[in-house]
A and B are shown apart, each in its own frame.
Chain A
Amino acid sequence: MSGHTHNTDDRRQLQMARSMCWHCQSEMAGEYFCDRCVKVQPVSKDVDYFTCFGLPRRLAIDTRVLEAKFYELSRAFHPDFYQNKSDAEQSISLGNSAMLNTAYRTLRDPIQRAEYLLDLEAGSVKDIRTSPPADLFEEILELQETLDEFRESDRASEQASTLRAKLHADRTNLEERQREMETRLHQLFSRWDALQDRGEATEEARTERSSILKDMRNILSNRTYVKNIVNDLVETIA
């Protein structure tokens, strides 16, 4: 029990430290700049990318809003504007800019955004990892073997043209499945957002939450495997 109390104290101290200006020690209300001395403040490593841009943890994002906020903060943190400032401010400006760029790149892309959300939520859901897709692996290994066969074949031979036709059909089929996965993924994104918007803390909501995250994890993983094999197919038979 004492360990638990200790933890809470640590956290409170951390929050205190964060809400205090590193320069003038005043308690500041401003997000990235001290309200009193106007010095730039380091973005805490505990701040997630959504919060960094002032966005809720949703998967549908208005990219224009994201972009506008990115430009605004980019200007505010840009190292060029800190060349004549103290070393501390220069280093904060560099750190914040780097963090901002990574955050923007991650949130801009819907797939990376979802992967990031899953990382964030991994702690809140037990066992987000799902069992490996054994059937898909078998299929991929078989396809890779056919690809090897094709690579080693004499391109002018009848065997090569039979293999090419087969691989072409496989490619069409996999691309279709890839599209299906993306459709299902977007349905899950909408369900996640709706759940976030309702903000319920019921047992039901928790169950749905973890089921959505798990399904997302599954499809995102499978999508990567399928994407890889499709790339190999395209490269080889193109």
Chain B
Amino acid sequence: MAYSEKVVDHFNNPRNMGSFKKEEDGVGTGIVGAPECGDVMKLQIKVQNDTIVDAKFKTFGCGSAIASSSLATEWLKGKTVEEAGKIKNTDIVQELNLPPVKIHCSVLAEDAIKAALADYQKKADSK
């Protein structure tokens, strides 16, 4: 099965790869995994005044999982926390032309976004 051009592009030039310090103010961290294939994805957001000013990811898995998370970080930047919560895995599928067997990669990215947002919220609430 061939990867779409967009997947290959994100795979070869991943955007926003890396990480923030978890304890840092305004940072939300989501770590999720896909038990079917064993992929693990870490996605982090940095929030200032309710807006995501930066996002980073580290994904250990297949090309589609890397591309999904890379794209997710691109989309997250500049969005408000509320807008970010509306990103759906189907948007990722569409943008990257993911075939049916790779849809779970986009689900993983959506889960990672949700987990990062929840972590950010939890940290904000406990202050």
**Are B35 and A224 closer than 8 Å at their CB atoms?**
yes
- Known: A140-B60, A141-B58, A144-B60. Is A220-B40 also a contact (CB below 8 A)? no
**Smallest Cβ-Cβ distance to B31: which chain A residue:** A137
Whether A138 is near chain B, meaning CB under 8 Å from some CB there, is: yes
Determine whether the beta carbon of B40 is less than 8 Å from that of A134.
no
Write the chain B residue with the least CB distance to A228.
B38
Q: How many residues of B contact A (CB 8 A)?
A: 12
A104-134, CB under 8 A of B: which get 1 and which 0? 0000000000000000000000000000111
Question: Is A71 on the interface with B (CB-CB < 8 A)?
Answer: no
CB neighbours (8 Å) of B39 from chain A are: 228
Q: In the complex the two chains form, is A132's CB within 8 Å of B38's CB?
A: no
A141 with B38: CB separation less than 8 A: no
Q: Which of B67-123 contact A (CB under 8 A)?
A: none
When A141-B58, A144-B60 are in contact, do A227 and B31 touch as well, CB less than 8 Å? no
Tell me, rounded to whole Å, the shortest Cβ–Cβ distance linking B92 to chain A.
20
B33 at the interface (CB under 8 A from A): yes
- Contact present for A224 and B32 (CB under 8 Å): no
CA A221 to CA B32, docked complex, whole Å: 12
Q: Are A134 and B37 in contact (CB under 8 A)?
A: no
Q: Quick check: A132 and B33 within 8 Å, CB to CB?
A: yes
Q: State how many angstroms separate the Cβ of B39 from the closest Cβ of chain A.
A: 8
Q: In the complex, what distance in Å separates the CA atom of A46 from the CA atom of B49?
A: 54
**How far, in angstroms, from A22 to B50 measured CA to CA in the complex?**
64
Which residues of B lie under 8 Å from residue A81 when comparing CB positions?
none
**Once bound together, how far apart are the Cα atoms of A137 and B35, in whole Å?**
11
Contacts of A137 in B (CB 8 A): 31-33, 40, 42
- Complex contact B40–A221 (CB within 8 A): no
Bitwise, A130-157 to B at CB < 8 A (1) or not (0) is 0011100110110010000000000000
State the majority secondary structure of interface residues on A: helix
Most buried by A among B32, B33, B39: B33
Contact (Cβ within 8 A) A141 B42: yes
CA separation between A140 and B38, bound complex, in Å? 11
3 interchain residue pairs of minimum CB distance:
A221-B35, A228-B38, A224-B38
Chain A residues near B58: list those with CB within 8 A.
141, 144
Roughly how many angstroms separate A132 CA and B32 CA in the complex, as a whole number? Answer: 7
CB of B36 closer than 8 Å to a CB of A: yes
Known contacts A141-B58, A144-B60; is A225 also within 8 Å of B42 by CB? no
CB distance from A121 to the nearest CB of B (A): 16
Beta-carbon contact of A225 and B31 below 8 Å: no
Chain A min CB distance to B102 (Å): 17
A108 CA to B46 CA, complexed, in Å:
48
The residue from A138, A224, A232 contacting B31, defined by CB atoms under 8 A apart: A138
Which residue of A is nearest B115, CB measured?
Answer: A132
Q: A132-B32, A134-B31, A137-B31 are in contact. Are A224 and B37 (CB under 8 A)?
A: yes
Question: How many angstroms between the C-alpha atoms of A202 and B31 in the bound complex?
Answer: 39
Measured CB to CB, the nearest residue on chain B to A139 is B40
In the assembly, what is the distance between CA of A134 and CA of B30, in Å?
Answer: 10
CA separation between A224 and B38, bound complex, in Å?
Answer: 5
Whether A141 pairs with B40 at a CB distance below 8 angstroms is yes
From residue 41 to 75 of chain A, which have CB atoms closer than 8 A to chain B? Answer: none
Are A225 and B40 closer than 8 Å at their CB atoms?
A: yes
